[in-house]
Copies of this chain bind each other. A is one copy, B any other.
Amino acid sequence: MNTGELTELGQQLRVDSVRAAAAAGSGHPTSSMSAADLMAVLFAHHFRYDFARPDHPANDRFVLSKGHASPLMYATYKAVGAIDDEELLTFRKSGSRLEGHPTPRQLPWIETATGSLGQGLPVGVGIALAGKRLEHAEYRVWVLCGDSELAEGSVWEAAEHAAYEHLDNLTVIVDVNRLGQRGPTRHGHDLDAYARRFQAFGWHTVEVDGHDVDAVDRAYGEADSTKGQPTAILARTLKGKGVAAVQDREGLHGKPLPEAEEAVAELGGPRDLHVRVRQPSAAGSPPARPAGHLELPRWDKGEEVATRNAFGEALAALGTARGDVVALDGEVGDSTRAEFFAKAHPERYVECYIAEQQMVATAVGVAARGWTPYASTFAAFLTRAHDFVRMASISGSGLALVGSHAGVAIGQDGPSQMGLEDLAMMRSVHGSTVLYPCDANQTARLVAAMADLDGIRYLRTSRGESPVLYGPDEDFPVGGSKVLRSSDHDRFTLVAAGVTVPEALAAADALEGEGIAVRVIDLYSVKPVDRETLRAAAEETGCLVTVEDHRPEGGLGDAVLDAFADGRPVPRLVRLAVRNMPGSASPDEQLHAAGIDAESIAAAGRLLVGEAIVS
């Protein structure tokens, strides 16, 4: 396309953005109009993609980090012939594929859900990393960011990671329209301010007038030919460009244009230009991901093994059996034991340093390319990436997350290092699976099972050693549980998981010595829970006592309720959990202070059998 045609295409994208938002009665046309020329040039001249084959391994990848500019994305899809005008006007309506913020649920050309700002570039880094390091593929990754979102620290985690990995297949285009939602950004149109920052982090930068299509074209070419480092294109633009009533004006974020028909006329009226997107250069073949026989590590009953060690060993074994498994860690691989995988499979290990948001984003990007990522850090520090996990669930992303050093059981390090809220966080993620093993063989089996689940899967591991309770050939289906003690005269049921399982067993032994029979369930699958076993225990023993190394809210105690929240009769319930604020102390002292060690459990059991209220 020549200059005139590119300019016309930009106007068409504006017109269609205005029309889509007008039809919807909501949306972000002004944020779309600033970036319209940037998109026109990209899709007409540089982006290589087969819209009929979104899974083509050599396709370039595009991420709209400023997801609220979705009208522009959909206008572009119309221009390339992927959707028609009728569908464009379904924008934001119930049942439409064209959601307020893009998600890959129904649109195969979307790589990742956006709409929480500062996440598109981090995920783009993950996709580019997959292309360069894992697949050795030729595809390029293009990310369109807003200027406001550069205030998010996650953008700078991404910038650091991308430069460190020399991702010259990655280009970020920043639509510097100087206006955020509520007013001017910190740096306005000072392109240099952004360029300095990207340069300092090791990026090549280009500053450009974002409405000069030829200059933009040259900038993309420069990005294409830059080797050894990623490129940031800083484009000076005007929000609402092309319509005088809204152009470069405050107070017009996220609103349809007041006079849409006049605006369309001012933009030169509707057009129907069709863009022929360049095809991917090579035939391209999916990367080899050989699958072999899985030989999990095995431990004998009675050995003392930390579940974090079992995780590390099992993950390394899984990596040997499956070429699609990738491990990532946040600079604590010697603690999480992800280092076992790193040593065995360095080519599929990504060191993310202390940047948990970028770690999860890299995992999302890698998963979008068909890999099976396991990302690990301390359970406590996964809270840092909560919003990324939330958005990953909207993407339907398949991630295995592993949090080590759970609970007060870590001992002396104190509360900053203790994962005490992780079960609550992970359970509330839509479609998630939450697993909390108590011994090494169980851990190994669950690590392997996680690879074949959908959505967000979370495994919680423990720092200290614990006895191996199960043989290496025992099955642990997701959604199951293990009844470890049972009789037909049980007075109540202890429901435990992880470090509280041995405590519950010891308490049951003590009570048995006093003539009080107690059922013990190992609820290693916290979500989904084993409803049948819990219901049977409720019917047969009348009372469930949950014991967890976690805050009382959102963890094991709440999880068991999932078996009884449909109107059926509910058993009596007692919840033992961490209600204090721990300081430094030994693991045993911590469990006792929190009231979740064997002695505390037995004491609660005695009260209960005496028909007393426990708390």
Q: What residue of chain B has the Cβ atom nearest to residue A570's Cβ?
A: B570
Copies in the complex: 2
Q: Which of A109-145 contact B (CB under 8 A)?
A: 113-118
The reply to whether A414 and B100 contact each other, CB–CB distance below 8 Å, is yes
Instruction: Report the contact-size class of chain A (Cβ under 8 Å from the partner).
Output: 35 or more
Say whether A157 faces chain B, with CB atoms less than 8 Å apart: yes
Tell me which residues across on chain B come within 8 A of A424, comparing CB atoms. Answer: 424-425, 427-428, 553-554
Say whether A273 faces chain B, with CB atoms less than 8 Å apart: no
Tell me which residues across on chain B come within 8 A of A332, comparing CB atoms. Answer: 181-182
Tell me which residues across on chain B come within 8 A of A391, comparing CB atoms. Answer: 416
Say whether A509 faces chain B, with CB atoms less than 8 Å apart: no
Say whether A55 faces chain B, with CB atoms less than 8 Å apart: no
Q: Which of A146-166 contact B (CB under 8 A)?
A: 148-149, 151-157, 160, 164
Say whether A551 faces chain B, with CB atoms less than 8 Å apart: yes
The reply to whether B67 and A416 contact each other, CB–CB distance below 8 Å, is yes
Say whether A532 faces chain B, with CB atoms less than 8 Å apart: no
In the complex, what distance in Å separates the CA atom of A101 from the CA atom of B405?
15
Of A192-200, A220-228, A239-247, A595-603, the one contacting chain B is A192-200
| Residue from B185, B354, B573 in contact with A561 in the complex, judged by beta carbons closer than 8 Å | B573
The reply to whether B554 and A353 contact each other, CB–CB distance below 8 Å, is no
Of A80-88, A511-519, A583-591, the one contacting chain B is A583-591
The reply to whether A585 and B94 contact each other, CB–CB distance below 8 Å, is yes
Of A4-12, A314-322, A607-615, the one contacting chain B is A607-615
The winner among A96, A421, A428 for most chain B CB atoms within 10 A is A428
The reply to whether B387 and A566 contact each other, CB–CB distance below 8 Å, is no
Say whether A236 faces chain B, with CB atoms less than 8 Å apart: no
Say whether A540 faces chain B, with CB atoms less than 8 Å apart: no
In the complex, what distance in Å separates the CA atom of A353 from the CA atom of B593?
42
Q: A56-81 interface mask toward B, CB cutoff 8 Å, 1 = contact, 0 = none?
A: 00000000000100000000000000
Say whether A564 faces chain B, with CB atoms less than 8 Å apart: yes
Tell me which residues across on chain B come within 8 A of A586, comparing CB atoms. Answer: 94
Tell me which residues across on chain B come within 8 A of A333, comparing CB atoms. Answer: 182
| Residue from B164, B425, B569 in contact with A572 in the complex, judged by beta carbons closer than 8 Å | B569
Of A288-296, A378-386, A438-446, the one contacting chain B is A378-386
Q: Which of A1-51 contact B (CB under 8 A)?
A: 24, 26-27
| Residue from B103, B196, B421, B430 in contact with A390 in the complex, judged by beta carbons closer than 8 Å | B421
Known: A387-B383, A427-B424. A570 touches B567 (CB 8 A): no
Tell me which residues across on chain B come within 8 A of A416, comparing CB atoms. Answer: 67, 101, 103, 113-116, 391, 394
Chain B min CB distance to A390 (Å): 5
Tell me which residues across on chain B come within 8 A of A353, comparing CB atoms. Answer: 148, 151, 180, 185-186
Say whether A339 faces chain B, with CB atoms less than 8 Å apart: yes
The reply to whether A553 and B427 contact each other, CB–CB distance below 8 Å, is yes
The reply to whether B100 and A152 contact each other, CB–CB distance below 8 Å, is no
Say whether A92 faces chain B, with CB atoms less than 8 Å apart: yes
The winner among A24, A552, A555, A613 for most chain B CB atoms within 10 A is A552
The reply to whether A386 and B425 contact each other, CB–CB distance below 8 Å, is yes
In the complex, what distance in Å separates the CA atom of A149 from the CA atom of B355?
8
Chain B min CB distance to A477 (Å): 21
In the complex, what distance in Å separates the CA atom of A410 from the CA atom of B89?
21
In the complex, what distance in Å separates the CA atom of A24 from the CA atom of B584?
10
Say whether A413 faces chain B, with CB atoms less than 8 Å apart: yes
Chain B min CB distance to A454 (Å): 13
Chain B min CB distance to A566 (Å): 4
The reply to whether A182 and B334 contact each other, CB–CB distance below 8 Å, is yes
Chain B min CB distance to A565 (Å): 4
Chain B min CB distance to A31 (Å): 13
Tell me which residues across on chain B come within 8 A of A543, comparing CB atoms. Answer: 567
Q: Which of A499-533 contact B (CB under 8 A)?
A: 527
In the complex, what distance in Å separates the CA atom of A155 from the CA atom of B117?
18
In the complex, what distance in Å separates the CA atom of A115 from the CA atom of B562?
35
Chain B min CB distance to A71 (Å): 12
The reply to whether A153 and B201 contact each other, CB–CB distance below 8 Å, is no
In the complex, what distance in Å separates the CA atom of A26 from the CA atom of B586?
11
Say whether A105 faces chain B, with CB atoms less than 8 Å apart: yes
Chain B min CB distance to A160 (Å): 6
Say whether A279 faces chain B, with CB atoms less than 8 Å apart: no
Say whether A369 faces chain B, with CB atoms less than 8 Å apart: no
Known: A153-B154, A353-B151, A354-B152. A570 touches B572 (CB 8 A): yes
Say whether A357 faces chain B, with CB atoms less than 8 Å apart: yes
In the complex, what distance in Å separates the CA atom of A199 from the CA atom of B200?
8
Say whether A280 faces chain B, with CB atoms less than 8 Å apart: no
Say whether A331 faces chain B, with CB atoms less than 8 Å apart: yes
Known: A428-B421, A428-B553, A567-B574. A413 touches B196 (CB 8 A): no
Say whether A175 faces chain B, with CB atoms less than 8 Å apart: no
| Residue from B186, B335, B354, B561 in contact with A164 in the complex, judged by beta carbons closer than 8 Å | B186
Chain B min CB distance to A360 (Å): 12
Known: A101-B414, A564-B573, A568-B572. A527 touches B553 (CB 8 A): yes
A–B complex contacts, Cβ < 8 Å, 15 sampled: A24-B412, A94-B589, A95-B583, A96-B583, A101-B416, A103-B415, A113-B416, A114-B416, A181-B332, A182-B332, A424-B425, A553-B554, A553-B558, A565-B573, A567-B572
List 15 extra interface pairs beyond A26-B412, A118-B354, A151-B331, CB under 8 A.
Answer: A94-B586, A99-B583, A100-B584, A101-B413, A101-B414, A114-B416, A117-B354, A151-B157, A153-B156, A181-B334, A421-B428, A424-B554, A428-B555, A552-B562, A565-B573
